[in-house]
Structure 1
């Protein structure tokens, strides 16, 4: 909670010094103050139904719901879920507002030229975009990677809600919420240390062979918002959202995959998370969102956020050992689900 308060205060100061009002970013399911409570309520309902079914079976769900609410959903648990959502909300909104005023503080010094040169060093004198487009193609691959990249937006708040609401261990849910919040904090700090706009905006000619996708539409929208904001920062309703170093898509997906690995989730879930991270890493380079060093920095931020959050929430090695011995999420296992449905699955 203290982390969210600090980034919230910093965003207020950063905006007020310039005379720019704070803005609430919209996204999946509308503004953050709408979508997070909606997700919390939806997942709480799912959690209650799952627990009720475990208690009484499918034929007595109403009775099971009454018992679950009475015996399992205490005020403490509700406050814990609400605190996690509020912490995430304050951190995210603070992050977006600090990112919004970034060009007014740091646009005079951009590091894109140096990062482009570093990219060419990694790719033996070639631009990553040129190599990736030639090797992977620009048709089916573009559509697939666009879907992966855009899936990040709803998956982050959904995954937060899942671990806050369905987690059997309060500390594990708090660990994940704190990890996400620290990603925003360290990410926006990195923006101010090494400001850059990314390959798609510094060298757009490298991406002209790509087809129109959801990503290209998003990139154009972000550019339009950037130009509108820079034209009239004091009165514009647009939220500036362009920043390259470090990649928070990479940091968050890496932290999430590592979190699932350390909490010993289902093997298929862990594998899917690592594949999603790898494809996200690739998509950031393929579409020109980030430079190679942006992604390396993102991985470091993801790892550091997870490690610091584990310490802050008391998820020690001993505690994680206990977590691994039982399912973290309050979901029925296959045998139990079969018994609840009379062997129908």
Structure 2
């Protein structure tokens, strides 16, 4: 099954896509293509792929052929395409983007169906009690407001939280288009897709609204940020959906588990296991810390949501590694590769056994 690294991912996208279609038909609601950064996902993802394609080829072609003018650049462009861009590679890139797209759109539709299927079932009171227990009788959000303040910290954390929306598709595009090892792109695309599926399962297993929607008074003193606008938009859309589920609005409020945390954890672990540059790994872990703080600070999630999200992120990477043939893989750093090569060069040859 794992000879083609996308077998599992494509199968997963078919199953979840069919599930979303059946749910929409049973509930008599339309399937919706959620909007996002740079427009709908079916526009956004191809644009990201084309952007990385251009960024990977055009500068190289210009650098090699600028002395001969436009004809030289065009000639180098064609040479790079012929040498590096086989139909197999293009097919892998398209499959990765399509798998991610189908799983994400299905996730958004199944998430929107949540209040219709799990009517009136909420666990916010239990989660709030658990938060107080874990923080020794205190509310985690109030502790962060007191410790970090509610001015500069709010703006910084809001910027980090909202930047998640474009960053994840961009990292996927980078690995799919720029990566020479096609199985790594399949691994990352499958891991991200698994986040959406496991996230939907967690939403239905324990529906919550999150502190900002269950106890909005706790966050009224925070300044207006991009997060504030996003929360208001989600509240308006959720209210419109409940009034008319067949309309254009979709429901997008769910706390357990935190997919912001799960997806960023997936990226961090994937970067570590594939031996990305130190600066990339450090930035990824720093972004995770900011994301976790933001989820609590703005009341998106309870502590248990973030813990469950971290588990989903780890599980997604592990399952995707097995499914794409990368189980147990650890890419050595360039320094380690050079060290091993040097040792091999000066090692004494192993004597052949006597006949």
Contact 1:107 1:195 in 2 (8 A): no
Aligned partner of 1:297 in structure 2 is 308
Could you tell me which of 20, 25, 46 is aligned with 1:11? 20
Give 1:53 shift. 6.0
Give 1:106 shift. 1.1
SS class of match (2:330): helix
Q: 1:103 to 1:312 in 2, by over 3 A?
A: same
Aligned partner of 1:117 in structure 2 is 129
After the TM superposition, which residues 230-241 of structure 1 pair with which residues of structure 2 at under 5 Å, given as runs?
A: 230-234=242-246, 236-241=247-252
User: Please, what is the CA RMSD of the aligned residues?
Assistant: 1.6
2:267 maps to 1:256: yes
Contact 1:250 1:280 in 2 (8 A): yes
Aligned partner of 2:330 in structure 1 is 320
- Partners of 1:48 and 1:174 lie apart in 2 by 21
TM-score if structure 2 supplies the norm length?
0.88
- Partners of 1:68 and 1:326 lie apart in 2 by 28
- Partners of 2:208 and 2:273 lie apart in 1 by 33
Q: 1:58 to 1:311 in 2, by over 3 A?
A: farther
Contact 1:112 1:196 in 2 (8 A): yes
Larger Rg: 2
Contact 1:200 1:207 in 2 (8 A): yes
2:213 maps to 1:204: no
2:319 maps to 1:308: yes
Q: 1:50 to 1:302 in 2, by over 3 A?
A: farther
2:49 maps to 1:40: yes
Give 1:326 shift. 9.1
- Partners of 1:307 and 1:326 lie apart in 2 by 26
Total equivalences in the alignment = 323
Aligned partner of 1:127 in structure 2 is 139
2:227 maps to 1:215: yes
Could you tell me which of 166, 174, 187 is aligned with 1:154? 166
- Select between 109-118 and 38-47 the one with higher mean Cα deviation: 38-47
TM-score if structure 1 supplies the norm length?
0.91
Where in structure 1 do 4 or more consecutive aligned residues deviate above 4 Å?
A: 57-60, 323-327
Any idea what the Cα deviations from partners look like across 1:93-132, whole Å, max 9, x if unmatched?
Answer: 0000000111111132100000000011111111111111
Any idea what the Cα deviations from partners look like across 1:293-343, whole Å, max 9, x if unmatched?
Answer: 0000000000000000000001133x534x64599xxxxxxxxxxxxxxxx
**Unmatched 5+ residue regions in structure 2?**
1-9, 337-355
**Unmatched 5+ residue regions in structure 1?**
328-345
